[in-house]
Each structure stands twice: as C-alpha cells, then as structure tokens.
Amino acid sequence: MPVPNPTGARRTGPRGSTRAARQAERYGTSSTTVYDLHLHVLVGVDDGARTLDESHAMVTGLAALGYRKVVTTPHIRDGLFPNSPESLLGVFAEWRDALLAREGALPELALGAEHHLDATCLELANAKRLLAYPDGRSVLVELPYETLPPRLSDACFRIALGGYKLVLAHPERNRVLRENRNDPWPFAGSKPKLLLDLLALEGEYGAEAERAACDWLDLGYYDAACSDLHRPSQLPKLKAALETLERRWGRERRELLLEAGPSGIANP
Ligand SMILES: [Fe+2]
C-alpha cells in the first residue's frame, strides 16, 4: 500500500511561449494558488530549518511573497538523512501544530519528501512506500550534482512500476544534464516533470546552473518552479528571482510555473 499522506519548443514571441502555451492547455487555466513544491522547513530532520523560529520565518516569509500552499520536502538519503516516510509524517504533524499555535499568516502546509535516487528510494518504490506529494502518486527525486546514477533509465522504470510519477528536482544543478543543453532529459522512457530551482536564476548555484536554467526556461522545458529554501536568509534572493522570472519570461510563465504547473503535479 502507498504511504498515505494527509496532507522542444521554438523561440517565438515571449520566450518559450509555444511549449508554455501547450503546457497551459494541458494543466488548464491558472489555479490562482501560488505553490512551493520543494523546500526544507521541517525542523531538525535534514540540512534545512534548525529551529522553529527559522521555520516560522521561512513560511511566513513565503506567505508574504504570495505563496498559498507549501509542500515541505525533507531529504531521504542513504547515509546522510536516514528519514523514513512514517517518521516524517509524525514530525510533520507536530511541526504543523506548533506553527499553527503561533501568530502570523501561514500558507497551507503539506508534506512530501526529496528522495535521493539511491538504493533506499528503489526499495521504497518496490514496497510502494515512497512519500509522494498530496496527489499520492507524484514523487520528488533528486540526482547527484556531478554524475548520474548507474542504470538511470532502469531506476526510473522501477519507480514507474511502483505506480509513481517522477518529478525531478533542480535538473540545472546536475553537471551531466547541463551538458545536454538542448534537452535536459535525453533518456529512454517517459520524461519526468522538471522542477526549476528559482534561486538558480540569481546565481545561488553558480554560473553554469544559472545559464542552464535560463536556456531551459527559454526552451519551455520546466513544468513548475520551487524555492528549495533551507534558511530564512535566502528569502530576499527568492523575491529577486520571482521578479527576474516575470521580467524575462512574462507574467503568464510565472503563473504557469508557480500556479497551474504545480497544481497539476501535487493535487489529487
Ligand atoms: Fe533539493
């Protein structure tokens, strides 16, 4: 049983507009809810928020930027972050109660996970125990930064066999994917949904990641955009990235990547 969770276009007109228009058609009209599908605000379970104060500052900061739904995605990674879906569900419930007891407007809070594509991830997929988004099927996966895992297509196929749909976190941060500038997913099998890390637009991960993010935005490859926040100190950069996104790629694209795109991924 799945772990129950309560919670190639042409450059014409506005950049990437042809592919973006097709995506808008697929996802329907804008949901008017602004989503963040990837960030680390659960306290003490990974390299994200260290205290409830930090966590509170991040989620209220997101609310002030217009976010209305936030899916926190703690790491599950062999050796580094040995969290389990079940343990995270317990931590999440307590954390949400603690935040709700505080002052300040909050976005709606939900839980997912950032599964590193490793042996544990494949075991959880086989057992249908991956911690999915609230739709119960979409799972966020991250790759190493410098390499690709061996037998990547096979691993993706095994996850699909478990009944899951892949969502790939920040492809612009993987060196090998960056080398395929004209196609971030040149592999057999179905293409995952691609999640842009907005902070890449402000150089948070270096010039190469920034260039790849801009190229893939130009080409209309991204399905949604996230913050991958770990600290409240990153909020000003996120604000700048949102302005850059709208200035360079237009309001419609911003709405697609923050509203309709994530809604199509995370909602049942
Ligand atoms: Fe991440």
| CA distances for 31 relative to 194, 255, 267, angstroms | 19, 9, 11
**CA quadruple 95, 96, 97, 102: dihedral, nearest 10:** 100
- Sort strands 35-36 and 224-226 into parallel, antiparallel or unpaired: unpaired
C-alpha span between 109 and 96 (Å, rounded): 7
What tens digit of pLDDT does each residue of 158-193 get? 999 999 999 999 999 999 999 988 888 988 778 899
pLDDT of residue 1 exceeding 90? no
Cβ within 8 Å of residue 197, ≥6 positions away: 38, 169, 170, 172, 173, 204, 205, 213, 225, 226, 227, 228
Of 268, 14, 246, 248, the residue nearest 257 (C-alpha): 246
From the CA of 114, how far away is ligand 1's center (Å)?
A: 7
Cβ within 8 Å of residue 26, ≥6 positions away: 264
Give the mean model confidence (pLDDT) for residues 182-211: 93
From the CA of 39, how far away is ligand 1's center (Å)?
A: 7
From the CA of 198, how far away is ligand 1's center (Å)?
A: 11
Of 169, 162, 87, the residue nearest 123 (C-alpha): 162
From the CA of 181, how far away is ligand 1's center (Å)?
A: 21
What tens digit of pLDDT does each residue of 126-154 get? 999 999 999 999 999 999 999 999 889 99
> Tokens at residue 39, please?
């960030």
| pLDDT band with cut points at 50, 70 and 90 for residue 213 | very high
Domain ranges of the chain: 17-262
Does the domain at 17-262 match CATH 3.20.20.140? Answer given as yes
% of the chain with per-residue pLDDT over 90 = 80
pTM: 0.89
C-alpha span between 197 and 259 (Å, rounded): 15
From the CA of 60, how far away is ligand 1's center (Å)?
A: 20
What tens digit of pLDDT does each residue of 97-110 get? 999 999 888 999 99
Angle at 116 between CA 218 and CA 181, to 5 degrees: 25
Mean pLDDT, the chain, integer: 90
From the CA of 13, how far away is ligand 1's center (Å)?
A: 32
| pLDDT band with cut points at 50, 70 and 90 for residue 216 | very high
Contact indicator for 39, 48 with CB cutoff of 8 Å: yes
From the CA of 234, how far away is ligand 1's center (Å)?
A: 14
From the CA of 212, how far away is ligand 1's center (Å)?
A: 16
pLDDT of residue 6 exceeding 80? no
Query: What integer pLDDT is reported at residue 190 of this predicted model?
Result: 81
For every residue of 179-206, DSSP letters joined together read H-TT-S--SSSPPPEEEEEGGGGGTTT-
From the CA of 220, how far away is ligand 1's center (Å)?
A: 21
Of 267, 198, 203, the residue nearest 229 (C-alpha): 198
From the CA of 20, how far away is ligand 1's center (Å)?
A: 24
